[in-house]
A and B are shown apart, each in its own frame.
Chain A
Amino acid sequence: MSKQYWLRSMLLAGAAGLAFAATARAEDPIRIGVIGEESAVAGASLTKAAQMAADDVNAHGGVNGRKVEVITYDDHSSAADAVRAFQRAVSQDHVSFVIASYISEVALAIEPWSARLHMPFITTGAASNEISKQVHKDYAHFKYTFHGWLTSAFIAQSICDAEHDLLVEPLHMKTAVIMSEDAAWTTPLDARYLECLPKAGLKVLDHIRFNPDTTDFTPIFRQIEAKSPDVIITGISHVGVQPTVQWHDQQVPIPMAGQSSQATTSTFWKDTNGAANGVITASAAAPGVALSPLTIPFTEAYQKRFGDSPSYTGYSTYDAVHVIVDAFKRAGSTDADKVVAAMEKTDLVGTIGRWQFYGKDDPFTHAVKYGPGLVTGITFQWQDGKQVALWPAAVANGHVKFPSFVKLPKVTN
């Protein structure tokens, strides 16, 4: 077959596609593709929360009379599957926006496809700084990508701020060991930890990065114990149950704080048979904590509908759908460039705070803005089966409390 033949048939197919698109009527639903990780604790909340948000939007009249339809895909935690799902969402399901993934590697794999296909895309759970840095570096090309969760740098900053207020000041902790899984999101996380922990008053005695396939954490805990730090600062998301249970069963006498993404969902207590007791982690929100007037009603509705409370991606995805719908409304269209322009002007209160995105000139272009009055995330501790909010002080509903095997530094003054 000649080249010309191919060219001609492709043109024809393209024309047919355009004709088809043109026939889309005003009453047709607006479609949003949601690519989640159904088998992963943190990634399973994405599709559920998106569906809830879409139902809310439709109950309130939809987008200028058009209903919102959520189409879900499962990427099985694989970047290749996620890219295929993204392509299918665009070419076959004709979505107008894609929400995807809690895994940075997956979000980074989708990003160039969002640029090539001019498809607006937001990740509501990945954290790597590179996602928004890329948009900053080549705005014209990558402007279709948004980052709807705190970047690793801000997560680390939020943790340093929280640990200063919770552990350094009242409990006189002075030293820490960083324990992070080796993944794209922890590289910038650890870099910021190394910078901000000393400033927060915690000297870093050791920095351990381990393979996410690790199943036996005993040697790692022994290595940490040998340095006798006051606290372990974690950066874990792909692992969670195993280090927590082993920490508990071995009665490692050092408290764990930092970011433990799996601990953000309510099932974590069951998954660890309560070994999570005393674990401190950063998260988007916690049950019963009103970061905004929307937080508690959402958490309760989610719990009622699905049985468990959402992981952090549940909150961010629920908000993202509302942010996207808001942009559709203001753009008066689903045209990608108009929607991107409208997204950039977002100013909306969601379940985790007030949503705005950094602009073209900020280093984290299109990432959600971090700071007091905007989105800060919270820090909570698992206490007797409940997630008790500890930080920021304005939303705290409890105090730090560790299980008896944890030894706290002796006060010397």
Chain B
Amino acid sequence: MLALQILIDGFAISALYGLGAVGFTLLFGVSGVLNLAHGGIMVIAALIGWRAAGGLGIGSWLGSLVGVLAALVAAYATYFAVVRPIQRSRAIPREETEIFVLTGTLLWGIMIQVGMAWLFTDNPVTIRPLIGGVMELAGVRTPANEVLIAAVCWGAIGLLWLLVNRTRAGRALLAASINPRGLVLLGFDLDRIYLLVWTIYGVLAGVAGVLLASFLGAGTNNVGQLTASAFSIVVLGGLGSVSGSLIAAYVVGYLETVTAYVIAPTLRPIPALILLVLVVYVRPQGLLGRR
């Protein structure tokens, strides 16, 4: 019984982790940007989605859509106002660009956190479940919404796979992650590819944000934790590897769930962090990393 509970509860939370991390890793793989404002963007989706769904009274589905759009706007703002100016700056030495992008997005994430806490509150909010009620899954009482969330996550990940592997624009993305210079020589416009990857990233982070708000609830106090969890999952899976991130999301999700059920809910994040340290020691490139 306990095993079944862990299996079911762990599946949904891992799917959500996976969705949150996939955009993060794709962004790194294609454009070399580690976006430390990631948690902030997810929380913007959650808060705006909540306000639209409840405050404007347009319901959970439309509200969630507004939340995803807000995350997309926030992703564009991150790119155009923070990342691109740093990448283009002549004052910053080439080899230091990455560290400046890291610092810039970290500070931007803090600004988002404080700004959103000021606009709303630092209290977590929840979007009303997209579908209500509970169902019995092999004897485990499970909210129907949890099942839907797992399905939506995998649906979004599936769409991403199709986009990357079956469309011309997607293949260009893939190529950019392997050899951006080659792509430029072939006449592709890197700026457009970057814009595309930021668009995909914004949508994925937004969907993850609104789903989190409808599943567990989210608030500005979670910003750091969300960034950290995406970061650990991505490092564990191998920076830039989408399938590695998905596997890592499930490893972390289940490790946390097992810890919470079998040991103590308070110790939930610890074993995953220990695993992360071990991976960094033993296999620094991560599970499926290329380097």
Contacts and interface: CB of A to CB of B under 8 A. Distances in A.
Nearest to B122: A39
A361 interface: no
B125 A241 contact: yes
A218 B265 CA distance: 9
B257 interface: yes
A211 B134 CA distance: 27
Contact of A220 (B118, B216, B257, B265): B265
Interface residues of B, number: 35
Given A215-B216, A216-B216, A251 B9 contact: no
A273 B124 CA distance: 12
Given A219-B260, A251-B141, A241 B123 contact: yes
Contacts of B132: 249
B216 A271 contact: no
Contacts of B121: 39-41, 44
Contacts of A273: 54, 126-128
Interface in A199-246: 209-211, 213-220, 222-223, 240-242, 245-246
Interface string A236-271: 000011100110011100000000001000000011
Interface string B137-156: 00001010100000000000
B141 A272 contact: no
B217 interface: yes
Contact of B125 (A249, A251, A271): A271
A262 B265 contact: no
A364 B58 CA distance: 51
Contacts, number: 88
B126 A242 contact: yes
Interface residues of A, number: 35
Given A210-B266, A222-B5, A242 B217 contact: yes
B126 A219 contact: no
Main secondary structure of the interface of A (DSSP, over half): loop
Nearest to A182: B266
A63 interface: no
Contact of B265 (A38, A40, A214, A241): A214
A211 B5 contact: no
B160 interface: no
Contact of A219 (B123, B129, B141, B257): B257
B5 to A, nearest CB: 6
Nearest to B218: A215
A210 B117 CA distance: 24
Contact of B123 (A210, A249, A262): A262
Interface in A270-295: 270-275
Contact of B122 (A40, A217, A222, A249): A40
B121 to A, nearest CB: 5
B41 to A, nearest CB: 18
Contacts of A222: 5, 261
Interface string B1-29: 00001000100010000000000000000
B225 interface: yes
A241 B126 contact: yes
A246 B266 contact: no
B134 A251 contact: yes
Nearest to B53: A273
Interface string A307-318: 000000000000
B269 to A, nearest CB: 9
A217 B9 CA distance: 11
A210 B141 contact: no
B222 interface: yes
B126 A270 contact: no
Contact of B129 (A241, A249, A271): A249
B222 A215 contact: yes
Interface of B: 5, 9, 13, 54-55, 117-118, 121-129, 132, 134, 141, 143, 145, 216-222, 225, 257, 260-261, 265-266, 268
5 contacts: A38-B118, A241-B126, A242-B124, A250-B134, A273-B127
The 8 lowest CB-CB distance pairs between A and B, nearest first, are A219-B260, A39-B122, A273-B128, A242-B217, A245-B126, A39-B117, A211-B266, A249-B143
Given A216-B13, A250-B143, A270-B54, 9 more contacts: A213-B221, A215-B218, A215-B225, A241-B123, A241-B126, A249-B129, A249-B145, A273-B54, A274-B128
